[in-house]
Structure 1
Amino acid sequence: MKEKNGARRPDVTTVELVGGTEPLELTLHNYEERWVGLYLDHRRQILNALVAANVGVEHIGSTSVPGLAAKPIIDIVVTVDDITAEEDYLDPLLVAGYELRTREPGHRLVRTPARDVHVHIYEQGDPAVIEYLLLRDWLRSNAADRALYESTKRSLLRSRWDDMNAYADAKTDVILAIKARARAYRVQ
């Protein structure tokens, strides 16, 4: 959303992690068909909350890949017209029962109080969304990289993680290699 003079509002410039870091015990679960239903339930809830906004909603993350073991957390990406217009999407999502976890440049994260659904909010066209979908779609279609990703996660979970962000960061090299193969395949 633009201000009355037509200028775009500036986005936040720092990372706000509501509640600070959270030590978690992470476990992988074998793929569960019910994850699709949970996603669809929350997709409906999100679309009902954001009925006045132009949004896109996609299931991302490991729970969106049939056959892939995952933390039992449903990741959803929502795209909005203007990330700085929080009154258009954040306020309605909070009213719908989600809680703000992260506010950072170009990205907001809300989640359920049970922490079993994470909703990542980006502006439409944000490269991060393209990257999420690239990884999801490739893992859905490539059994070898799906197995590599799962074995990497299982290996990492043998360690204790003080924060989910640190665990996610530890997977970066493998994810980058998988996405590079996905891009190379698309070019062929």
Structure 2
Amino acid sequence: MSDDAVEYLLPPSRVDGTIELSPYDPQWPATFETLATGIRTALGPVATAVEHVGSTSVPGLPAKPIIDINLLVVDSADEPAYVPALEGIGYVLHLRERGWHQHRLLRLAEPRVNLHVFTTGSPEHDRMITFRDRLRTDPESFERYLATKQRLAAQHWERVQDYADEKSSVVEQILSDSQGSRSSS
């Protein structure tokens, strides 16, 4: 296996149908805070940042009812520094993406969580935070992303990741708009 390959430790999520989006749940931020406290407690100073990302982090945005969390550690490739402690609180390592920012994905079954692990200073983490903040503060970007999500969710998908990948062009457009507005201020 090349270093760029995605290594699935468990099979990718299949949907074989449409994606069900739930209305925004005002409990999502509180659920995140509880989860973040558990992660910080389990990892101590190993966790350099714990951030709520993804659609559940944007007030009013319908989403798959899965809390997405970004965890930053000193070196995400150093799994022994954090994976055993996270497994101790119920997370399961699902995949390694060595060629994409040394990303690791762990999941929790209840509540449903995707825990994305990156190395401190990762540009992908910064990109995700910029996107989240743009949706929180710019109604036009929010509406454009919502319309795209709803249109794509209604289509038939084999894997959840295919749906996520298909949203990437609108994400890039919104991020590009965000960069343009920053440089013109």
What TM-score comes out, normalization by structure 2 length?
0.91
Matched, 1:69 2:54: no
Aligned length: 178
1:17 equivalent in structure 2: 8
Amino acid at match of 1:177: Q
Distance 2:97 2:31 in 1: 26
2:93 equivalent in structure 1: 100
Q: Secondary structure at the match of 2:157?
A: coil
What TM-score comes out, normalization by structure 1 length?
0.89
The farther-off stretch of 71-80 and 21-30 is 21-30
Matched, 1:132 2:128: yes
Residue number among 116, 119, 124 corresponding to 1:123 in the alignment: 119
Amino acid at match of 2:55: S
Amino acid at match of 2:180: A
Residue number among 167, 170, 183 corresponding to 1:171 in the alignment: 167
Structure 1: segments with no counterpart, 5+ residues: 1-11
Distance 1:34 1:95 in 2: 25
In the TM superposition, what whole-angstrom CA distance separates every residue of 1:105-158 from its partner, at most 9, and x where no partner exists? 110010112471110000011110011001000000011110110111110011
- CA 1:90/1:155 → structure 2, altered by over 3 Å: closer, same or farther? same
1:28 equivalent in structure 2: 21
Distance 1:143 1:13 in 2: 37
C-alpha RMSD of matched pairs (Å): 1.6
Structure 2: segments with no counterpart, 5+ residues: none
Q: Secondary structure at the match of 1:122?
A: strand
Distance 2:12 2:114 in 1: 16
Residue number among 71, 81, 86 corresponding to 1:88 in the alignment: 81
Q: Which has the higher strand share?
A: 2
- CA 1:138/1:163 → structure 2, altered by over 3 Å: closer, same or farther? same
Amino acid at match of 1:180: S
1:43 equivalent in structure 2: 36
Q: CA deviation at 1:84?
A: 2.0
- CA 1:31/1:52 → structure 2, altered by over 3 Å: closer, same or farther? same
| Identity %, equivalent residues | 34
The farther-off stretch of 69-78 and 49-58 is 49-58
Q: Secondary structure at the match of 2:46?
A: coil
The farther-off stretch of 55-64 and 109-118 is 109-118
Amino acid at match of 2:57: S
In the TM superposition, what whole-angstrom CA distance separates every residue of 1:22-56 from its partner, at most 9, and x where no partner exists? 31252111211100011011101100110141421
Q: CA deviation at 1:161?
A: 1.2
Distance 2:117 2:44 in 1: 15
- CA 1:173/1:52 → structure 2, altered by over 3 Å: closer, same or farther? closer
